[in-house]
Homo-oligomer: A and B are copies of this chain.
Amino acid sequence: MENFEFHNPTRIIFGKGILVLVGREARSFGSRCLLVTGKRSVRESGTYDIVRNSLEAEGIDVIDLSGIQSNPILSPVHRGIDMVKEKAIDFVLALGGGSVMDTAKAVAAGSLMEGGDIWDVFEGKRQIEKALPIVCIPTIAASGSEMNGFMVITNEKTGYKLAAGSPHVYPKLSFLAPELTFSVPPDYTAYGGVDAICHLLEPYFNGPDPFTPVQDDMAEGLIRNIMKATEGCLASPSDYNARSTLMWAATLALNGLTRAGVGEHPFPVHLIEHAISAIYGVAHGAGLGALLPGWMRWRARSHGPEKICQFGTRCLNVIDKAETVGCADRSAFVFSQWLSSVGCPSCLADLGITKEGHGKIAENVSKQAAIWGIEDMYSNRVILDVLSFCQLRPQE
């Protein structure tokens, strides 16, 4: 096990009937709340009213920042920062998916920056030093943003989708209400599951070394649960068992637990997907699905097949335990079949991307890699090589 630090201070309230508690529990963060939401669904479902009423019943003034889109962009972050300053907001509450939560985090951090622009943080030019308290109420099981210090924003002017992280943007409190996800449509339910699986696989594939059997077992258990729960949610969208399993497993997938001790691990599949989302506007989970099987086949050749075989034998019932490239390819193939079975793309062609697009994707990834200081590991040539493995669905 590598040396590590683990510190996840987010408090979780999980279950049925918990949204009436929002006001009472959030009261300690202040009396003026910026309520960040997406386009329509939380208003149409009545969830918005429940949350707003709960806040107002505790004497908390609610100011809206609504209309946040998928693959969230920078301008609403700037608008939110201005609102915080104008209205003397005390805390930021996100009610929505990963895009809404990440926007809320960027607003919470950007509001307390002295000089400069929050985008500087995403470009790696400065660190976050403080942030307003953040409360999250996720409406989809996917990003894990409700219990981590990450956020991803697209700069619509430059066309880059970049991630940033800080201990200061861990939510103070998140309400995980699986019933809110009953209405998530099948495609996004699957994409959410795939996003969570990818959060687990990226640190998992760091190995075969260091020796991390505790982390491996945890990641494998979560992946098996996410796969099964995704299938359960698709079969029966209001199945509380399946929805609660998917929600808690997705939260645990990126709360630092399975990463602690595995050593340095950039998230290369996420980097490449962020380029694809920025250029083609695809849903994040769909982009990850399109990359993962090819990524595994490339990785088996470049870094050894052991960990990919382990994934296949322990999570996909692949029987070959030889730990060869053939076993890794078989694992990638079985996983691509599973992706297709839940309605998720499993190669770039599934997204309508052709080989002609690879150059532009690789260029975008290179810029991100430079910001993260991993341009040596993920050079243009390497990314083009990966993309060639991802272009078509793996064959048996």
Task: Say yes or no: is A15 at the interface (Cβ < 8 Å to chain B).
Answer: yes
Chain B residues contacting A211 (CB-CB under 8 Å) are 241, 245
Instruction: Please determine whether B225 and A214 come into contact, CB atoms closer than 8 angstroms.
Output: yes
Task: Say yes or no: is A3 at the interface (Cβ < 8 Å to chain B).
Answer: yes
CB 8 Å contact bits of A215-252 with B (1 = contact, 0 = none): 00110111011001000000000000100110011001
Interface residues of A in 258-306 (CB under 8 A from B): 260-261
Query: CA A257 – CA B241 in complex, angstroms?
Result: 18
Chain B residues contacting A252 (CB-CB under 8 Å) are 214, 257
Query: CA A260 – CA B11 in complex, angstroms?
Result: 12
Given A8-B8, A9-B9, decide whether A245 and B213 contact each other with a Cβ distance below 8 A. Answer: yes
Chain A interface, DSSP helix/strand/loop, else mixed: mixed
Beta-carbon nearest neighbor of A228 in chain B: B213
Instruction: Please determine whether A248 and B5 come into contact, CB atoms closer than 8 angstroms.
Output: no
Beta-carbon nearest neighbor of A12 in chain B: B6
Give chain B nearest CB distance to A19 CB in angstroms: 12
Chain B residues contacting A218 (CB-CB under 8 Å) are 218, 221
Task: Say yes or no: is A18 at the interface (Cβ < 8 Å to chain B).
Answer: yes
Task: Say yes or no: is A381 at the interface (Cβ < 8 Å to chain B).
Answer: no
Task: Say yes or no: is A156 at the interface (Cβ < 8 Å to chain B).
Answer: no
Give chain B nearest CB distance to A315 CB in angstroms: 11
From B3, B15, B248, A214 is in contact (CB under 8 Å) with B248
Give chain B nearest CB distance to A354 CB in angstroms: 40
From B3, B11, B16, B249, A14 is in contact (CB under 8 Å) with B3
Task: Say yes or no: is A120 at the interface (Cβ < 8 Å to chain B).
Answer: no
Given A6-B14, A12-B6, decide whether A1 and B245 contact each other with a Cβ distance below 8 A. Answer: yes
From B2, B5, B217, A11 is in contact (CB under 8 Å) with B5
Task: Say yes or no: is A7 at the interface (Cβ < 8 Å to chain B).
Answer: yes
Instruction: Please determine whether B14 and A248 come into contact, CB atoms closer than 8 angstroms.
Output: no
Instruction: Please determine whether B224 and A217 come into contact, CB atoms closer than 8 angstroms.
Output: yes
8 closest cross-chain pairs (CB), A and B: A3-B15, A217-B221, A7-B11, A6-B12, A1-B244, A211-B241, A9-B9, A214-B225
The 24 sampled A-B contact pairs (Cβ below 8 Å) are A1-B15, A1-B244, A1-B248, A2-B15, A3-B15, A3-B17, A3-B18, A4-B14, A4-B15, A5-B12, A5-B13, A6-B12, A6-B14, A7-B12, A8-B8, A14-B261, A211-B241, A213-B225, A213-B228, A214-B248, A217-B222, A244-B261, A248-B260, A252-B257
Instruction: Please determine whether B261 and A248 come into contact, CB atoms closer than 8 angstroms.
Output: yes
Interface residues of A in 1-51 (CB under 8 A from B): 1-18
Chain B residues contacting A17 (CB-CB under 8 Å) are 3
